[in-house]
Amino acid sequence: MKTFEFSNALDRLPEQFFAKLVNKVAEVKKRHDDVINLGQGNPDQPTPKEIVEQLKNAADNPLYHKYPPFSGYPFLKEAVRDYYKREFNVTVDPESEIAILPGTKTGLVEISQCLLNKDDLALVPDPGYPDYWSGIALAGAKMHEMPLESDNDFLPNFNNIPIDVWERAKLMFLNYPNNPTGAIATKELFEETIQHANEHNVCVVHDFAYGAIGFDGKKPLSFLQFAGAKEVGVEMLTLSKTYNMAGWRVGFVVGNPSVIKAIELLQEHYYCSLFGGIQEAAAYALKADQESVSKLVDMYDQRRKALVDAAHTIGWKVQAPKGSFFAWFPVPNGYTSEAFADLLLEEARVVVAPGIGFGKHGEGYVRIGLLCEEELLREAMDRIGALKLF
């Protein structure tokens, strides 16, 4: 059997750190049937029934059995427009300022291929979502990491970016509420972002995947709420977390028309948009009563409280996340994040995600998902407490 060489673009792709974690977990599961997996980012609740029913009914429409329009059905873009107006009082043009994505994971990789050339520079948060790196690598571009540190509430400090880096940068990724730290953005951060982006001609990409999930009575801020945001960038929004529709693969990029045009041009060569029935159900989700979203956020808030209280009970000094469905907990002295995660897996049969998998500034932390029942979160902390590490 012949073996064919990969393209240079594929060879540039970063190693999938979490593939190794999945293999470790699988090995432990062969020996034990009581593993508690807090390391994943997959919503554990089903899609609301009324959204599923909408898809079932839409599937009978023969129009949707044909190829959909390359850029998607106008009714879905109009639903996104209405969502932004209702939730954030932001006005967007559905024709020129919204593109439909087969999940924002795809869009976050595509945008680097749309806007970056070989050896161009992108600014990325560290720690951050690893697929930012993937798109940059495929484009043959370079990265400059923006450290997210606890003493700055896990927000980037733009004053620490050298002027020569600003002058080379073409793209900047931000993500709030943040994966993995659970931090939320401030008004000042977004205003400062727009100022720097204007000054240095940098396109901003705000990954708003957890935009519906904020705690302590604070609604997460949309980047597009701020004056000048559409002039300098875009925001990517997904239905995966807000409506438990991770497997449906529906997302959007909203904002600067030139970026929208580039994304849609690339996608004309990659895809023929989403099945029309899914588009109809997605539009329904965005426009319908949002009671299911409120209940979902309340559930994550209760889980957050249960996890943090249980962690404090075992002596683990942690801070509660302000948004997203992740907690970012410090590793005890004497351990790397990977060694600590390995210990918890082998000795407590609890899976957490090592911070190093999100970038070098993730070292010293582990990410824990609020994606199982409160009882299991407490049991996980009890098992960890039994190791007498704190």
Confidence of residue 182 (pLDDT cuts 50, 70, 90): very high
pTM of the predicted protein model: 0.96
User: Which structure tokens are listed for 288?
Assistant: 């319908």
The yes/no answer on whether domain 9-46+292-385 falls in CATH 3.40.50.10540 is: no
Place of tokens 């683990």: 316
Confidence of residue 165 (pLDDT cuts 50, 70, 90): very high
- How far apart CA 245 and CA 250 sit, in angstroms, is 8
Residues 350-361 have a mean pLDDT of: 96
Q: Regarding the domain delimited by 50-287, which CATH topology (the fold level of the hierarchy) does it fall under? A: Aspartate Aminotransferase; domain 2 (3.40.640)
Domains 9-46+292-385 and 50-287 share a fold: no
- How far apart CA 1 and CA 379 sit, in angstroms, is 50
- How far apart CA 355 and CA 330 sit, in angstroms, is 9
More confident of the two residues 40 and 363: 363
362-365 own/partner pairs: CB under 8 Å, 24+ apart: 362/126, 362/127, 362/180, 362/337, 363/336, 363/337, 364/330, 364/331, 364/337, 365/127, 365/180, 365/181, 365/328, 365/329, 365/330, 365/331, 365/337
Beta strands in the chain (DSSP E): 36-37, 98-101, 121-126, 142-147, 169-175, 203-207, 233-238, 251-255, 326-330, 350-351, 353-354, 365-369
Q: What is the pLDDT of residue 32?
A: 73
| 229-242 confidence digits (pLDDT tens) | 999 999 999 999 99
Q: Give me the residue spans of the domains in the chain.
A: 9-46+292-385, 50-287
The residues, any chain, with a CB within 8 Å of residue 99's CB and separated by 6 or more, are 71, 72, 107, 252, 253, 254, 260, 263, 264, 267
Residues 186-214 have a mean pLDDT of: 97
Nearest alpha carbon to residue 100 among 307, 271, 221, 329:
271
Mean pLDDT of all residues belonging to the chain: 95
- How far apart CA 338 and CA 355 sit, in angstroms, is 8
| 16-36 confidence digits (pLDDT tens) | 777 778 888 788 788 877 899
| 245-298 confidence digits (pLDDT tens) | 999 999 999 999 999 999 999 999 999 899 999 999 999 999 999 999 999 999
